[in-house]
Amino acid sequence: MDMDRPETDGRRIVRQVIGGKSVAASSGSEIDVVCPSDGLVFASIPASDAEDVDRAVRAAAAAFETGPWPRMPAVERGRLLTRLCHLVEKNGDELAALESRDTGKPARQGKADVAATLRYYEFYGGAADKIHGDTLPFLDGYTALTLREPHGVVGGIIPWNYPLQILARVAGAALAMGNTLVIKPAEDASLTAVRMAELAREAGFPDGVFNVVTGYGGEAGAALSAHPLVDYVTFTGSPATGTAIQQAAALNNRGVTMELGGKSPQIVFADADLDKALPVLVNAIIQNGGQTCSAGSRVLVERPVYEAVASALAERFARLVAGPHDADLDLGALINPRQKARVAGMVADAEKAGIPVLARGAIRPDVRAGGYYFAPVLFGTVDPSATIAREEVFGPVLTLFSFDGEEEAVRLANGTDYGLVAGIWTKDGARQHRMAKRVRAGQVFVNGYGAGGGIELPFGGFKRSGHGREKGFEALYDMSATKTIVFNHG
């Protein structure tokens, strides 16, 4: 990683990448980089403002207008993405360790994130020259055809929960289609994004194609989403910030992709294979400390097996342990004190409202006092109108519901403002199909949950979970626009 100098306390001063150069913020301001496992500062990143964002957007616009990038044969763009995939593989241990330290996620999750990241660059490297337009039936004497063209400069605002993966899902698709990029990673987790921009430079991407500007959301993020030279904006994060970003992009009438989280149900019918379901139900909410947009945060259980499922989940929750990222326990610390306070506040309110706690996990007793740990909580039956039943907690907190039959299952599953992912557990084949169609979610898993990366699978929300689709070939359509050309040769 490019640094000015190691400080006497060993703190690393990291530089963002604008126009192929590693630079500080124009103001000279810095943001402390904190490890959530101990709350200690170990590096700093530039605190960029509108001026830095303007420089980065201009670099990206120049790379698009006059550079080789959008005019390069698609196969060449694909080869560069494949080279980036190989560099991710080569530097995988360093990237995984950096991601874990910056976010507090257990070491194996950092490694899983690297594995998914290199798959994104591999997939989109291979896809770059396999997307094409049509020739269209039209009037006699005419030939009509379509081309898929890049938007231009894509502004990507990335959250802190899966920085490497979410950057890769944006960058893979955007770059494959010939766009240039300005990425604003989250202030709490920017190190791997900077590292990826450095690796893109090493891979041979032309200067200005892959820019990373670090800074606060309200400053650098807001400036990026409002910049008139940004042609398309993509965002993953909270619905409130999504609204602010869409309002800013609307001032320039620009297109947006929004991935805004969920309150995803797992629906367990009485005939489900519980031995298969139980570990998946737990993992779907514990992975990454529950800080996952697709977390399975509501478990709906058919009444005849409710008691059995609730007590089996309670047993498992009671055994969960949170601890430092390098101890690689069930979960790590949460990202920052604000997130910990938010999760703790929502849990306290639910308890005050009388929702029963069925089990709590533990925090390893020897953790550093400064870490942002929160022990997992399993709530028993929750009224569907309760806040904890409707709002995303983004922490290791699971709520249970019971239902009688398919109608009630559908009503409960669809009874929030979100619609990102759903899991359906039943051996009845016809019911699998009926339920999969009736549940409003961008992805539905039957007798399983979560994609483990799932680079090939289109992903995105209904309702408040957002709009637009990422991953798979669908992302290539979002990251480009159709141009129709008509020849009159009559």
Residue 102 partner contact from Mg ion, ligand NAI, none using kind-dependent CB cut-offs of 5 to 8 Å: Mg ion
> Whole-number minimum distance, CB 66 to ligand NAI, in Å?
28
Q: Is 470 a catalytic residue?
A: no
> Whole-number minimum distance, CB 118 to ligand NAI, in Å?
21
* CB neighbourhood size of 217 (10 A): 19
49, 52, 102, 330: which one binds Mg ion (CB under 5 A): 102
User: In sequence order, what E strands does 310-383 have?
Assistant: 321-322, 357-360, 362-363, 377-381
Nearer to ligand NAI (CB atom), residue 241 or residue 426 = 241
241, 257, 287, 416: which one binds ligand NAI (CB under 6 A): 241
Q: How far apart are CA 424 and CA 102, in angstroms?
A: 34
Strand 30-35 to strand 21-23: parallel, antiparallel, or no bridges (unpaired)? Answer: unpaired
Maximal CA-CA distance, the chain: 82
Q: How far apart are CA 389 and CA 399, in angstroms?
A: 7
Nearer to ligand NAI (CB atom), residue 179 or residue 297 = 297
Q: Which residue is at the shortest CB distance from Mg ion?
A: 102
| 24 phi/psi in degrees, rounded to 5 | -80, 175
Q: How far apart are CA 9 and CA 40, in angstroms?
A: 12
> Whole-number minimum distance, CB 34 to ligand NAI, in Å?
14
Stretch that binds ligand NAI, among 70-78, 233-241, 316-324, 425-433 (CB under 6 A): 233-241
> Whole-number minimum distance, CB 94 to ligand NAI, in Å?
23
> Whole-number minimum distance, CB 110 to Mg ion, in Å?
13
Which candidate in 122, 259, 302, 470 is catalytic? 259
Q: How far apart are CA 259 and CA 56, in angstroms?
A: 24
Q: Is 259 a catalytic residue?
A: yes
Stretch that binds ligand NAI, among 10-18, 127-135, 239-247, 300-308 (CB under 6 A): 239-247
Q: Is 432 exposed, middle or buried (0-12, 13-18, 19+ CB in 10 A)?
A: middle
* CB neighbourhood size of 484 (10 A): 12
Binding site for ligand NAI (CB under 6 A): 157-159, 161, 184, 186-187, 217-218, 221-222, 225, 236-238, 241, 244-245, 260-261, 293, 339, 342, 392, 394
Binding site for Mg ion (CB under 5 A): 34, 102, 188
